[in-house]
Structures are given as C-alpha cells and as structure tokens.
Structure 1
Amino acid sequence: MPKSAALSTVSISEAVGSVDASKPGRLLIRIIDEGEGASGYYPAATLEAAATDRVFPKGTHVYLDHATAIRRGPNGERSVRDLVGTLAEDARYVPEAKALDAEVSVRPSYRQMVSEIAPDVGLSISASAQIGAPMPGQTARTITRIVEAESVDLVVAAGRGGAVLQVIESAIAGATEATADDRRRQLEQAVAAAYRDPENDVWAGLRDFDPDTQVAYIYISDRLYAQPYEASDDGLTVTLTGERTEVAAVTTYVPVAPAGLTETQPTKEAAMPEIPQERLDALLEAEKRVGALESEHAALVTRAETAETERDSARTKLAESARRAEIEKKVTAACEGKPAAMLTRVAERIPADAEDLDKAVAEALAAEQKYLASLTESRISGFGPSTTTDTPSGKHRTLWDK
C-alpha cells in the first residue's frame, strides 16, 4: 500500500480512541468510531465492513506517533525503534459503540512507558480509503470504504478516534494525500530544487499551498507566484507542474467565533505560513551583503566621478595644447625669420577659440606691426628688407620696405 501519511488530525475534543492498560503486556484500544474526522465522515457501515473484510488483521503494527515522512526510511518504511507492538486479534466491530476495537500485544521494552501514558493518548490509523460525496445532513466527504491499513499509531491527539492519514480520493482517480506537514516539506523541497540558486543570490521557498486545488504559493527572491503541483501515487513526492503565475497576497479578516459556534466549541486554526530557519539565516546574510555592497557601490561612484573630472580636465588641457601648437605653427610660418620675442607676442594675441585661425594670425601680426611702430620715431611701413637713402641733412635713414 502507499507509504505516506495524509491529513493532519483535528482537535482532541473530537477524539474517542482509547486504551485500557489493565492487562500486563496488552492494551484494549478503540481504533475508530462513527463520526467526522479530519479526512471525512466515517459511517458505522464503513467500520463494520472493515471488520468483516479484516482490514485491521491480527499482527497489524502499532507505532508511536504519526507516520510522517520524517519518521520513515528512504523507501517509506517505518522504524523498528517506534514499533510498540501488534494487534493481538483482528479488529472487531462493536455495535453499541459503532466502533472498531482490538487488543494490542505490547513489546516488553515499551510496557512501562505505555502504561504510564495510556490515559493521555489516543489512536490514529494509517490507511488507504475510498471516499464519496457527503451524506445527507453532512458537509464532510464520506469515507465509503477503508481499503487497507498500514498501522495503528499512538498519538497525543487523535481525530475521530483515529484519523485516516492517507486517503484515496476515489477508486478511479487513485490520488493520495499526505499530512499537511509532510506535504509542506515535500513542496519546500520541490521549490528549492526548481528555483533556488544561492550562487547567483536567488532564494526561493514555499509560502503556502492549497491542498484542495493543488496550488503552491512560492516566493522567488522578492516576488510571489502560484504554481500547480501533483502528488505521486504513493504520496511520498510532489512535482511542480504547469506555468507559474505572479500573484499578490491579500489579507482577509474573519470573525473569531463563526456563526453557530460557541466560545467553548473547538475551531480549526488556519495554518500560519512558516519561514524555515535556513531562509531566515539566508535573509540575514543577504542583508549584510547588501549593506557591504551599498558601501562599496558608494565608494565606486565617488571614484568614478573623480576619474571623470580628471579625464575631462586632461582632455581640455590636451585640446588647448594642440590648439596652441597649431597657432604657433601658423605664426612661425607667417613671421619667418623674425625674432622669437616677436613670434611669442603675436601668438599670445591670438585667442585659442578663434574660428578663422588664418584671419586671427593676420590681425595679430598687424597689431604687432602697430605696436613696433609706436616704439620708434619713424613710421614703420613694413617688415621687408631695409634700404638706405640720402636726406637733406646728408644723413641716412633706414626704411622698411613693404
């Protein structure tokens, strides 16, 4: 039979499973009775048929605690360390109680402990079953037949005297369910395997899931998605299927005491999303890394701005140097053979941003001629070769020919 456990048990107020530790080495247990449990409604006829079909035969294992995935081996097997004993007889139907009862043969190493805890524990079954639509007057689905039992478990809080931990949705579909805790762990593993990538700082996990629609709500970094999933036939694994869709979480508030319930009546508490410790540690580490990266980024921005300023200054100086070199080249050509001091003065008269450099050189040269003329008594007419002429006084005067 499938090896996974199914739905979580409900409030202890619903439990009717009991043990009688009056006989040394044996327990008289009530496995399950008629009524609504965590997995559906158990009619008396279903329990009576289970006795007739010997679904819980002599030798059926009795374990401590539920058959969750964490308490199973790699092949879904239970641990011998948790084996309390076995049914000493086939489970029998008790008409007046509309229940299944049986005696348990307890292993010697567990007798003292079981005798001490017997008044405070209940029973829960690990079995496969067929289900149907709700019966008239009931809202829960109907457990129409218990097909095969894996074990009967001693638990702290039982549902319906022994909640069915693994339920076949229908004889045709053959789908199974695991306990809410088991399914959550399975989905967390599937999500981590599909999307988590610590090397690239991508974190993913399970936020919640809907077992009725088989939709998982997962976070990938800072985004939330919905993605369908499917459970294997044995209920031990789940697989994410279809395309994921980005969603937004919406908070809904409901009355503390729903209509029809008194304050003393038990209500089913919604499962609160849990953040794994691994995820918390990762978030804290990521926060530290973000702080360090922000400081490093600020330093890099400052260095980049300084480098850009230095680069722009260097480009400006280089452009100015190239312009001055071009000006000096044109001035040297225009004033060939003239004193160096004159070339320097002419070059300094030319603006570095002059649009027409040839025109600017000509204007600077003209300004230099005017300047030189102002330094002599004679009018300078040009910068050509000098000639000597006679004057009325008999003296010579040097002229600059154009």
Structure 2
Amino acid sequence: MAEVTLGVLGAAATVGAAQLTGAFGFTGRHENSYREETLETRRIMNDFLANLKSGDVTPDEEREFMGIRGEVIDAENQYHKIIEDFKGTPWVHLGNKLSKRKDVRTKKRLARQANHSLRSLNESITSGSETSSICASSGSPPGSSLASEDIGELAQEVDESISSGSPISSSGPLPASSPAVAAVDELQDEREALGVYFHTLALLLPDLSHVRDPSRISILRSSIAHIDILEQHRARAAQQLRILKNESDTHRREVNQWRARAGVPPAEEPPRSDVFVAVLSGECVRPSNKDGNVIQLPSVDPYLFSAGQADLVYYTASPDSLNDGVDWSQSINHQPLASSTDSPCDTTRLPAIPAGQMTKQKEYESGDPRKKYQCPLCPRGRLFCPFTHLPRLTVPFG
C-alpha cells in the first residue's frame, strides 16, 4: 500500500514538473513570437515609407495602409497583454490558467492574420509600382521591339533640351510630396517628446520618484494630487502668516504706546512686497479654460492606499473655513512620530476645529490612532506630520 502511495505521489510530482516546464516553454515561445511579429511590422513599415518617399503610393493606398497598421498594432498589444495575464495567473487557479492559455493562442493567431494583411497590402503596392515602370530588355513582352526607337527619340530630346536649356519633359511619376512623410516623422517626434515629458514629470513627483516605470494615468493622478497638496500648504502658510502679522501688529501698537509716553517717534510698519501680500491673502492662481472659468481639480485622494478604506468618509475644513471661526485659544498636541527624522520641531500646536465645520466628529481615543486620523498632506500618510496643522478625520458611514 505504501509503495502504491509513493508511486502516485511520484507520478503527480512528475506531471507537475512537466506542467511547470511546459508553462515556462509556452511563455518563452509566445514572447519570442511577439517580438518576431513586432519586428515584421517594423520592417513592413520601413518598406512602405521607402515607397512613399519614391512616389509609388497613392493617397488611397496610404489611408488603407495606415488603417490596417492601426489594427496590427492593436492586435499585437492585445497579444502582449494576454501573455502578461497568463504569466501573472498562478497555477493554483488551474481553470483560469488553461483559459488564459487558450486566449494566448487566439491572440497570436489574430496578430499573425493582421500582420499578414499588412504585408499583403504592402506587397501589392510594391508590385504595382514595379509593373507601372517596365523597361524594355531581351525577352520583353510583345511590342518591346520599339524600345530602340523610343531610346533614340529620348536621346534626341535630351540633346535638344541641353542645347536649348529647357527642362526635360517626363511622363513618369512625380516625386512624392514631403508633407505626408514629414507628418509621420513629426508625429513620431511628438510621441517621443511626450514620453520624455511624462518621465520628467514622474521624477518631479515625490510619490513616483522611486517608481521605475509608472503609467501615464498614475502620473496624471499624482500630479493632480500634488497640486492639491501644494494649494493646501499654501493656504495653511497664509493662515500662519496672518497670525504672525496680527501678533506683530499687536506688539507694534504696544511698543508705540510706550514710545509715545517716552516721547519717541512711533515705529512704522516695514514695507511689504507684492509676494508677501499675495501669500498673506491666500489667493491661489489656477489656469482658466476657454470660457474664462477657473479649472477645478477633481477630488483625487492618493492616500486611499487600500480598498478597505472605501467605506470611510473624509471630513476636512476648506481653506476658506480655516480663516474664520477657528478658536485659537484651544489647541491639540501634534507630536511627530518617534521614527520621524525630518521633523522641524518636536511639538506643533493645532487649532481646535469648530463643531459647525464638520457634520461628524470623533474625539481621540486610546488605541491605534491611525484608525482615527490620517494626515492629508504627508506623502507617507503618517498620523502626525510636521508640515500640517489640521488632521483629516475619518469616520465610517452610519
């Protein structure tokens, strides 16, 4: 009985190893096939551009070729995507894995068919251009005996044109207009430049600087979130600057009272620059659309790092509500984390938010504070952040 059990286990292990080896071979074969298809598409495109520059392609043929080329690129992209999906599906889900394997073969067949259609069209264009310019030689079709007469007339015409200085008239195809080729080159240059700009923008974003190859949608979302964070920083900086200015004005008035009693001229307020006035007012300049309306940022919250927090409601005071109705006589301790090394200070005082600013509010409770509060400005999503003065409150529905 033990020998039978060991035999079954050995057979299962052998089958599993064979399946694993076959899976690696399957993925490698299809990745190699994908590279071959893309290289074939590139070769066909180079041949077509050569024919386009020589003037052997009509506008209708160009439109047809570009349309089929778009279908080929789409088919190859789908082929590559299904290969990656197959690689990312574990063998534990055997049914899904086998289904993905079948889809890979289907996408490979579609990519080859699309590439074959593009190659057939390019060959028909090339053969048409070759048959339109038949030259007479030995073994030519009937009627080629007139080739010597045609060559003699052409030589006489060349001699006459050289002596008279007039251009030679030719009935052959004219050179292709460069705008079509220039448009293709310009489009390719714009795509490459756009990719460089996206890569540079990703390097400038703090939350994507460590990502090797972020997607463009993630770059756009992070850019919008970064602009939103900068505006919140600016609003809080303006708020703190107004507080400091009020304290400075109060101290100046008190000092001037003592100076007046002592018979000393009062101290004047120092001149302020336009930048100081703009920051003090808390104004934020945003670009406008064609109708003149200020563009509003969508509500993108990059700190929802897990799907489990989708049932949380975020309540935070707007920048305008921070200017009025805040009771600065009360404060909340804002201690940085023990692991924080970039904190400019050990303790920051937070204003107490009026109850009217929020529809729901929970007091700080013992336990894990990250379940209650989350800093809206810190890129790390920390609870205590030295760069903000207003914690974001998270309250579940109901």
Q: TM-score, normalised by structure 1?
A: 0.21
Which structure has the higher relative contact order (CA within 8 Å, separation 6+)?
1
Higher strand share: 1
Higher helix share: 2
Larger Rg: 1
